[in-house]
């Protein structure tokens, strides 16, 4: 900046003060100018929409007519008079309860395997990671084909053992487990995060424990798990948030069926907004989702104090 | 790359006191680990292989029992030509390329500019703004989706690429800003200060000093952004209506609907599962190739944001 060339005479306090503040002001101005694109985004694409959707959620709004404020009716209907809403909530919770733990165990298991000294590790790591790069739609197409009840390869393999396979996506009881099985194929994405966590654990801890006579299991329980807990926490929180927003596979493969057994929260929200054009009702759903995610995350942050170990704290 | 070389050698070897048992136990353990890794890797790769093989079969062979792994007729070329000529797949891929390219250009350049503001200038409320930015990352997209749709509707942008591209030019997303800011903070300020003394203005410092040093993080943002854009589905689904404007993911889904709807309506018409598999592979291919080309950037981005974020 040009100010840096100004020579400041000793004792000239009255002159230097305004100089310095104008420098600071220029710097602040430059900072805000550079940050401006995001500030505009925050205002027009986040804050104003946030306020608008809150207002819509308390309104009757069927897109063709302007929204009419009608209090909490959308919310009351959601929880007392909408069987499908409750069903979609349950379907989503089911996916969280079954899918998140399975993906965590599998992802950590593969990461532990990848962390041992095996030949060709880079190749194997790529093999496990690659499926997570496939787009939701292609992913869905592929698995819809693999799980086809008539000629799908998975069913054929099960038949070859003399066992009758389920109808997968066509069976209300099996459609959610089928989606969980599919999601396991994409577990490589979190595997990489686990692996990074594992490799940040200093080797000396294991050596010291070994000298003290700790066995393999003991070392895993007393060193690996506690030191990995920030990663575990991250994977858990993002896993739950992600599962609450599951959409593409169900939209593409089952459209919520059969018998609404795969009508997940985000899918039902989409249907209300863009198929039935009930923008007010869908906004209320969005806010319920937002509050649930916030509450769950805060709860987990709270619980994390007792089981997540941050090295910097000690 | 840190991930590539874990130094676990000493841990894998058994403890000295079991010395006389060592070879047997060690070998059994190793064989078990290799077996697990190989079987798991095969399971992980199988859907790709099966899809690739299926894309070269006739519909008749696809549904035959017992199933074949390798196509007997091998009509790969015929299937892929049909897909690219009878279905506007090339148009959809071009649309995806346009949207992804223009979105990335805006997202990365504007994220870098905003990150520069947040990392190199002191202004009132900077930390608070930054905190707000981090919290917006947790905001589920569904909450702002409907008003955003209405805004783009009012602008007359429905059935254009604008809603998928223009927002990226306003900051490029909190994730990218965070990623790039962390990198800028790791570049010593002495660099820009000496340039400042030489009379460089903030723009020159940004373009001549920070950006050239930041190629790795920009590549990471580009790689992750490419995957996100190319694979995105809900945005195109909501904003694009006419089939010729569809992106690849939307087109693939449209095509699959056509295939199944036709099968249901006209019993004699063959389901085009083989073409569907070919299409799925074509849509997935750019991301798979990109991963092989830019593997280290992916791992880097996932590690920095996953652990330190």
Q: What pLDDT digit, counting tens, does each position of A171-222 carry? A: 999 999 999 999 999 999 899 899 988 988 888 999 999 999 988 899 999 9
Q: Interface pTM (ipTM) of the complex?
A: 0.86
Question: Is pLDDT above 90 for A85?
Answer: yes
What does pTM read for this prediction? 0.87
- Please state, in angstroms and as integers, the Cα–Cα distance from residue A254 to each residue in A97, A140, A267, following that order: 21, 10, 11
Quickly state the pLDDT bin for B266 (edges 50, 70, 90): very low
Is B127 exposed, middle or buried (CB count within 10 Å of its CB: 0-12, 13-18, 19+)? exposed
Quickly state the pLDDT bin for A9 (edges 50, 70, 90): very low
| Intervals of CATH 1.10.3720.10 along chain B | 83-304
Q: Which of B182, B178, B180, B181 is nearest to B138 (CA)?
A: B178
Q: Which three-class secondary structure state does DSSP give residue B155?
A: coil
Q: Got the DSSP string for A87-122?
A: HHHHHHHHHHHHHHHHHHHHHHHHHHHHTS--TTHH
Task: Indicate which of A109, A134, A151, A253 best probes the interface with B, i.e. most B CBs within 10 Å of its own CB.
Answer: A134
Task: Indicate which of B143, B180, B226, B241 best probes the interface with A, i.e. most A CBs within 10 Å of its own CB.
Answer: B143
B6 and A42 in contact by Cβ < 8 A? no
> Taking CB atoms and an 8 Å cutoff, what residues of chain A touch B145?
273, 286
Quickly state the pLDDT bin for B309 (edges 50, 70, 90): very low
Task: Pick the residue from chain B with its C-alpha nearest to A125.
Answer: B41
In sequence order, what are the beta bridge partners of A59?
A69
- The answer for residues whose C-beta is within 8 angstroms of residue A215's C-beta and 6 or more apart is none
A127 and B139 in contact by Cβ < 8 A? no
> How far is A248 from A128, CA to CA, in rounded Å?
22
Tokens of A149: 């009840």
SS (H, E, C) A274-292: HHCCCHHHHHHHHHHHHHH
- The answer for residues whose C-beta is within 8 angstroms of residue B141's C-beta and 6 or more apart is A245, B234
Which of A38, A134, A245 has the CB atom closest to B114's CB atom? A38
Q: Quote the mean pLDDT of chain A.
A: 89
Q: Quote the mean pLDDT of chain B.
A: 85
Task: Indicate which of B83, B123, B126, B239 best probes the interface with A, i.e. most A CBs within 10 Å of its own CB.
Answer: B123
Task: Indicate which of A6, A23, A30, A34 best probes the interface with B, i.e. most B CBs within 10 Å of its own CB.
Answer: A34
Question: Is pLDDT above 70 for A1?
Answer: no
B249 and A145 in contact by Cβ < 8 A? no
* Rounded average pLDDT over A233-259: 93
Q: What is the pLDDT of residue B303?
A: 65
Q: What is the pLDDT of residue B306?
A: 52
* Rounded average pLDDT over A279-306: 94
Which of B8, B148, B167 has the CB atom closest to A116's CB atom? B8
Place of tokens 């009930």: A278
Quickly state the pLDDT bin for B21 (edges 50, 70, 90): low
* Rounded average pLDDT over A97-117: 95
Which residues 86-115 of B are in CB contact (within 8 Å) with A?
110, 113-114
Query: Are the C-beta atoms of residues B87 and B262 closer than 8 Å to each other?
Result: no
A133 and B288 in contact by Cβ < 8 A? yes
A198 and B6 in contact by Cβ < 8 A? yes
> Taking CB atoms and an 8 Å cutoff, what residues of chain A touch B170?
37-38, 40-41, 44-45
* Rounded average pLDDT over A218-246: 92
Q: What is the pLDDT of residue A23?
A: 81
Q: What is the pLDDT of residue B167?
A: 96
Q: What is the CATH number of domain B83-304?
A: 1.10.3720.10
> Taking CB atoms and an 8 Å cutoff, what residues of chain B touch A41?
167, 170-171
Quickly state the pLDDT bin for B84 (edges 50, 70, 90): confident
- The answer for residues whose C-beta is within 8 angstroms of residue A158's C-beta and 6 or more apart is A164, A165
Question: Is pLDDT above 70 for B86?
Answer: yes
> Taking CB atoms and an 8 Å cutoff, what residues of chain A touch B108?
none
> How far is A287 from A57, CA to CA, in rounded Å?
8
> How far is B88 from B144, CA to CA, in rounded Å?
33
Question: Is pLDDT above 70 for B7?
Answer: no
Tokens of A118: 């095996």
Query: Are the C-beta atoms of residues B249 and B231 closer than 8 Å to each other?
Result: yes
Which of A115, A124, A135 has the CB atom closest to B8's CB atom? A115
Cβ neighbour number for residue B30 with a 10 Å cutoff: 14
Quickly state the pLDDT bin for A312 (edges 50, 70, 90): low
Question: Is pLDDT above 80 for B271?
Answer: no
Which residues 281-300 of B are in CB contact (within 8 Å) with A?
281, 283-284, 287-288, 290-292, 295, 298-299
Task: Pick the residue from chain B with its C-alpha nearest to A213.
Answer: B15
């Amino acid at each position: 900046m040009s100010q840096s060339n100004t020579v400041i005479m000793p004792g000239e306090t009255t002159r230097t003060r305004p100089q310095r503040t104008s420098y600071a002001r220029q710097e602040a101005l430059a900072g805000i100018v550079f940050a401006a694109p995001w500030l505009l985004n925050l205002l027009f694409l986040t804050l104003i929409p946030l306020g608008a959707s809150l207002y819509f959620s308390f309104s009757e709004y069927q897109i063709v007519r302007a929204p009419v404020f009608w209090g909490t009716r959308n919310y009351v209907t959601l929880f007392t008079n909408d069987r499908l809403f409750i069903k979609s909530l349950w379907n989503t919770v089911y996916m969280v309860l079954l899918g998140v733990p399975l993906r965590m165990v599998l992802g950590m298991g593969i990461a532990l395997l990848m962390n041992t000294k095996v030949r060709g590790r880079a190749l194997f790591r790529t093999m496990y990671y690659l499926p997570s790069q496939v787009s939701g739609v292609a992913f869905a197409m592929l698995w819809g084909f693999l799980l086809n009840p008539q000629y799908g390869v998975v069913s054929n393999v099960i038949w070859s053992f003399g066992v009758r396979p389920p109808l997968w996506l066509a069976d209300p009881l099996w459609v959610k487990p089928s989606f969980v099985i599919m999601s396991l194929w994409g577990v490589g994405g979190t595997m990489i995060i686990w692996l990074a966590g594992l490799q940040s654990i200093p080797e000396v801890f294991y050596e010291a424990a070994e000298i003290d006579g700790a066995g393999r299991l003991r070392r895993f329980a007393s060193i690996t798990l506690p030191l990995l807990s920030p990663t575990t926490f991250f994977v858990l929180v993002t896993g739950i948030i992600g599962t609450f927003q599951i959409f593409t596979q169900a939209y593409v493969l089952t459209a919520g069926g059969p018998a609404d057994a795969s009508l997940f929260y985000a899918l039902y929200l989409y249907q209300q907004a863009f198929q039935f054009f009930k923008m007010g009702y869908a906004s209320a759903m969005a806010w319920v989702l937002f509050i649930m995610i916030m509450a769950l995350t805060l709860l987990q942050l709270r619980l994390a104090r007792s089981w997540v170990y941050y090295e910097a704290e000690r | 790359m840190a991930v590539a070389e874990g130094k676990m050698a000493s841990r894998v070897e058994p403890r000295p006191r079991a010395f006389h048992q060592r070879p047997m136990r060690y070998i059994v353990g190793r064989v078990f680990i290799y077996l697990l890794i190989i079987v798991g890797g095969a399971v992980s790769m199988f859907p790709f292989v099966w899809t690739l093989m299926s894309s070269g079969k006739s519909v008749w062979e696809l549904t035959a029992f017992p199933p074949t792994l390798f196509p007997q007729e091998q009509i790969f070329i015929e299937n892929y030509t049909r897909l690219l000529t009878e279905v506007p797949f090339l148009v959809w891929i071009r649309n995806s390329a346009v949207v992804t390219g223009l979105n990335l250009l805006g997202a990365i350049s504007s994220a870098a500019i905003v990150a520069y503001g947040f990392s190199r200038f002191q202004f009132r409320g900077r930390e608070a703004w930054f905190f707000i930015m981090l919290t917006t990352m947790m905001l589920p997209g569904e909450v702002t989706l409907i008003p955003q749709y209405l805004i783009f509707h009012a602008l007359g942008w429905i059935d254009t690429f604008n809603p998928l591209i223009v927002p990226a030019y306003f900051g490029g997303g909190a994730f990218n800003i965070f990623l790039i800011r962390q990198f800028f903070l790791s570049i010593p300020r002495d660099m820009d200060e000496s340039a400042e003394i030489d009379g460089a203005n903030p723009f020159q410092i940004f373009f001549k000093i920070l950006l050239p040093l930041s190629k790795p993080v920009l590549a990471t943002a580009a790689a992750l952004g490419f995957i996100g854009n190319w694979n995105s589905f809900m945005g195109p689904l909501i904003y694009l209506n006419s089939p010729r404007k569809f992106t690849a993911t939307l087109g693939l889904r449209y095509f699959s609907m056509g295939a199944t709807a036709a099968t249901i309506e006209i019993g004699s018409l063959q389901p085009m599962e083989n073409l569907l598999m070919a299409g799925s592979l074509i849509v997935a291919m750019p991301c798979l190739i990109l991963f092989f080309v830019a593997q280290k950037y992916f791992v880097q981005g996932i590690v920095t944001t996953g652990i330190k974020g």
